[in-house]
């Protein structure tokens, strides 16, 4: 075998690509990974999940110190923001994690190439990849994991200054006085929360009738009320029609129910979705093209229409989530090795890291109704939890949807404190086809937030103790 011939070449070092490379190496494949940016970890580590969570945590401390410590009997005067230090901390976390992945590549003997991976036509049944016109590699299989990027709206082209995307919003050097966020999805609400906590006047405009579309509507309404209490203004069924960019400020024309209104702001964050990144792959060389959604179609083995070329993560259908990309990466490698691995897609949890947090797994009531699946719902509020009261975090509830006869859980929807952690148990019970009866006989430590989950499960059959 030539030195540049691999069992598998992975294009893209995000959570889909690097995790798949590691799993494939563990399974005995020779693996190369090609990444165009200087560090590994993809959008998630460099400009997505991790920096946003670092800033959410820091900004939450700031907001707590200003508004909540007094209630605990702690008098803190003169709380000041050191935004530069906040950003330094965020960068240190990114560097630590991306450096750690570089170490994992070495440990697993994965050869990393820096450059743009571009497909070449297959030759002698081997897949071929050109790296930034410098080098050519061949492989039996190529996995495309090139992820996604922010969608740019025609009337709102990004300039990195006044019209910004999430990446820019993670690195602002000053708190904008007035920030307009276009899009009430996960990214818009998380970034809007960060800058609102740090002092910006934040307005979020969302075209649809609820924030976090696809989420349980009661959960979305509860979150919206909490965000409003925190000072975010949210306008539903509102569209940003046009903007007039002046020297100092931007005048945005909003349209709601055919009424136009002007809103003056300093920056506009466009968080109107993400699109798969296929531009630099030279897909035509192997006879491929993106589907109508801009993604690649794949079969159960993650193989595209071209044998030997596979795709995972944000590049293919499904929720654009880091753990979905990683799960696909693992299952892809295991199937390549002949194992019968699969993914239970409804079992992939989704989380929004606002305050309170939102998390869900399984199906929503709307989906169950659409598919004529009978269910009963049980709900329990954090305001009745001793632990939530001690923590001062009583907004929200947990809703459990279960089969009326067997009690098997169809879905769990949480809006409340630490929802991102609570959902792990829900995902486990759901994935193992567990029921509300399983939760009823499981001892939950007192006082914990997890008791709310047990009570919500008991509430399905009107057996909650503290209701």
Residues at the interface with ligand FAD (CB under 6 A): 11-17, 34-37, 42-44, 48-49, 52, 116-117, 145-148, 166, 187, 277, 280-281, 313-315, 320-323, 325
Cα 71 to the chain's mean position, in Å? Answer: 33
Q: How far is the CB of 334 from ligand FAD (least distance, A)?
A: 17
Please check whether residue 134 is in contact with residue 119, taking contact to mean a CB–CB distance below 8 angstroms: no
Work out how close the CB of 403 gets to ligand FAD at its nearest, in angstroms, rounded to a whole number. 29
Q: Could you tell me which residues come within 8 angstroms of residue 407 by beta carbon, excluding any fewer than 6 positions away?
A: 435, 436, 437, 460, 461
Instruction: Compare residues 54 and 460 and give the one whose CB is closer to ligand FAD.
Output: 54
Minimum CB–partner distance for residue 203 and ligand FAD (Å): 19
Residue recorded with tokens 């799993």: 23
Helices 186-197 and 217-229: crossing angle in degrees, nearest 10, is 20
Which parts of 322-449 fold into alpha helices (H)? 322-336, 365-370, 386-391, 419-431, 436-440
Smallest distance from ligand FAD to CB 459, Å: 29
In whole angstroms, the minimum distance from the beta carbon of 312 to ligand FAD comes to 7
Among 169, 174, 185, CA closest to 269:
169
Residue 341 corresponds to which tokens in the numbers above?
Answer: 């691995």
CB of 53 to ligand FAD, least distance (A): 6
Q: Which is nearer to ligand FAD, 12 or 183 (CB)?
A: 12
Q: Catalytic residue among 323, 437, 444, 446, which?
A: 446
Residue with tokens 């940003």: 240
Residue showing the smallest CB distance to ligand FAD in the complex: 147
- Toward ligand FAD, which CB reaches closer, 42 or 183? 42
Closer residue to ligand FAD, CB minimum distance, 17 or 417? 17
User: Residue 428 and residue 435: Cα distance in Å, rounded?
Assistant: 11
- Nearest CB to ligand FAD, comparing residues 16 and 362: 16
Q: How far is the CB of 171 from ligand FAD (least distance, A)?
A: 11
User: For residues 144 and 336, which CB has a smaller minimum distance to ligand FAD in the complex?
Assistant: 144
Active site residue 155: no
Sheet with 267-270: strands ordered across: 163-164, 267-270, 178-182, 201-205, 233-235
- Least separation, in Å, of the C-beta of 150 and ligand FAD? 7
- Cα 180–183–186 angle (5° rounding)? 115
Nearest one of 304, 332, 314 to 12, comparing CA atoms: 314
> Measured from the CB atom, is 192 or 313 closer to ligand FAD?
313
What's the farthest any 2 CA atoms get from each other in the chain? 74
In this complex, which beta carbon is closest to ligand FAD, that of residue 116 or of residue 126? Answer: 116
d(CA 224, CA 148): 28
Instruction: Give CA separation, 403 vs 321, 364, 433, 434, in Å.
Output: 28, 13, 11, 11
C-alpha distances (whole Å) from 112 to each of 9, 304, 355, 373, 381 are 10, 24, 39, 48, 49
Dihedral sign for Cα atoms in the order 12, 15, 17, 18: positive
Where residue 131 falls (left for φ over 0; alpha for ψ -120 to 50; beta otherwise) is beta
Active site amino acids: 446
């Amino acid at each position: 075998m030539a030195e540049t011939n691999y069992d598998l070449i992975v294009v893209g070092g995000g959570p889909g690509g690097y995790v798949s490379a590691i799993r494939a190496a563990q399974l005995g494949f020779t693996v190369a990974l090609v990444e165009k940016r200087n560090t590994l970890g993809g959008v998630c580590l460099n400009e997505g999940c991790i920096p946003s969570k670092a800033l959410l945590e820091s900004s939450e401390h700031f907001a707590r110190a200003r508004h909540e410590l007094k209630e605990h009997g702690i008098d803190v005067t003169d709380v000041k923001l050191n935004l530069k230090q906040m950003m330094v901390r965020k960068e240190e976390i990114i560097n630590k994690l991306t450096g750690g992945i570089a170490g994992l590549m070495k440990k697993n003997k994965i050869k990393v190439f820096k450059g743009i991976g571009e497909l070449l036509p297959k030759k002698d049944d081997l897949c071929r990849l050109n790296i930034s016109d410098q080098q050519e590699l061949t492989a039996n299989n190529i996995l495309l994991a090139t992820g996604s990027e922010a969608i740019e709206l025609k009337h709102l082209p990004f300039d990195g200054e006044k019209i910004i995307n999430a990446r820019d919003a993670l690195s602002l050097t000053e708190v904008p006085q007035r920030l307009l966020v276009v899009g009430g999805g996960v990214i818009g609400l998380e970034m809007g929360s960060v800058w609102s906590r740090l002092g910006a006047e934040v307005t979020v405009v969302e075209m649809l009738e609820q924030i976090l579309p696809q989420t349980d509507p009661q959960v979305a309404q509860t979150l919206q009320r909490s965000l409003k209490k925190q000072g975010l203004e949210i306008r539903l069924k509102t569209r940003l029609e046009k903007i007039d960019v002046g020297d100092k400020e931007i005048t945005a024309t909003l349209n709601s129910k055919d009424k136009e209104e002007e809103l003056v702001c300093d920056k506009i964050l466009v968080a109107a979705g993400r699109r798969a990144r296929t531009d630099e792959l030279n897909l035509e060389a192997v006879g491929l093209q993106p589907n109508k959604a801009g993604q690649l179609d794949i079969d159960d083995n993650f193989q595209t229409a071209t044998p030997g070329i596979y795709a995972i993560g944000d590049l293919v259908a499904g929720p654009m989530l880091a753990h979905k990309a990683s799960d696909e990466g693992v299952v892809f490698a295991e199937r390549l090795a002949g194992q019968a691995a699969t993914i239970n897609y409804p079992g992939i949890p989704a989380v929004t890291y606002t305050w309170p947090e939102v998390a869900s797994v399984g199906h929503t009531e709307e989906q169950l109704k659409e598919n004529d699946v009978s269910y009963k719902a049980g709900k329990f509020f954090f305001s009745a939890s001793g632990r939530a009261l001690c923590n001062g975090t009583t907004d929200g509830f947990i809703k459990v949807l279960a089969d009326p006869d067997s009690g098997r859980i169809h879905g769990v929807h949480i809006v409340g404190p630490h929802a991102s952690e609570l959902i792990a148990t829900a995902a486990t019970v759901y994935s193992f086809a567990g029921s509300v009866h399983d939760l009823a006989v499981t001892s939950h430590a007192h006082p914990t937030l997890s008791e709310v989950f047990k009570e919500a499960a008991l509430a399905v059959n009107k057996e909650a103790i503290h209701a």
